Structure 1
Amino acid sequence: MMLCSNRSEGFRQGPLSHLYSHILTSCFLDTILVPLCTWLYLLVVVVLAAIGARRSPGLRRSHKTSEDVEFDGLADSGHKRSHGIAHKAFSILYYLLLLAQVLMCVLEITRLSLAHLRIGLLPFTFVSLILACALHFTRGFRGRVLGWKWANLAVFIALAVTNGVKIAEEVKEGTGQRKGSKYPESDEIIDVSVMVGVYAALAILETMLRP
């Protein structure tokens, strides 16, 4: 399969490796497992948007989440200023982490390409990151996508888990693999580990921030 040609095991061999016992192939990870998070995320967002579209505009305007009530309470108690400073700082960190994650994805894809290992469907991850950023910035397209924070939280956790599985499989395969190539296995493990950490941080911030 052209999506991951030049790898030791291609897509046609199935998800399980025939060279190493009890691990998934890198082709399956980059073509199915990691992109699956984006496919499911898009489906969930479309469903949530469809549900939101069925609600009347008046209900959308009058709807307040528990986070809204909590924020209003803080404002009334005189803590609005300190809360606003902390919120702004965490918001800046959130968007910086999203940017960093985009750059890490670019780095991984570029290095895989330079090593002539193909990139599977890894570019689909950009869709998740851009959509998550848009939903957060517009507060769920200004209330039209219900439960968007939970969708963002879920996709960040899912991407952290699937990339964690990717690390585990690469460690089992051995850090000495692809030694001498433009993208050794050990380098990819480091890159993906950083990405897992960033996804975890984004998930934490998503639960903390009120757009």
Structure 2
Amino acid sequence: MYFKIIMCIIPATPLVLWGLVKRHYVKFDRFKAIDKYLYECKFFSVEKSGCRTHLYRSVSCSHKCAVYDVLYIADMMRVAKYSLNMCMCILTNEAILESLIFLHNNGVKVRVIMDRGMAFHEKRKAMRLKCKGILVKVQKSWDEIMHHKFCYFDIEEPGRCRLFFGSLNLTLQGVTSNWEYLIFTNNLYMINEHKKIFESLWRETELF
């Protein structure tokens, strides 16, 4: 009798197992990240510390040079046509500052949020943007830290909008002497989520 029961169970075993596997597959399949958007990662390391002097002359020693990385970010920003919004804890890099001024002078609406303490510490840099007519805001309280690092532009036209975010502060130290990263994407969901944060901060902060 036991032999007959076993012989009845064995043929059904693969079907039962397949059912369990399929159920779990369907359960977790919805978390798969499959979309039509572009993603690019750029990493920065202490290995580029020798390129610090190259940044002063804006001359790249190779495609791995810190100058190449900075100009990549600056050139990406310069294609903005309508608006550019940046949240950056510390912003001191010359190429990035020049790009922001370039965009403003060419009719692009530029808004920048910086950390209050860092903005006053690097007052000359923040004042440079302000004197050019660019709106710069900081948090109202000295007890808080605005630690975001992201930038998005041309939210007005979905086909053009771009976003970069990560751990990198746009500083000489950040691009040559730290282990940092940035992610570049045109993912509309991610861009809109960063837009919500930016607009919320813009309402809560005050002009520098």
What TM-score comes out, normalization by structure 2 length? 0.29
Q: Report which of the two structures shows the higher radius of gyration computed on alpha carbons.
A: 2
**More contact order relative to length (CA 8 Å, sep ≥ 6):** 1
What TM-score comes out, normalization by structure 1 length? 0.28
Question: Relative to total residues, which structure has the larger helix share, 1 or 2?
Answer: 1
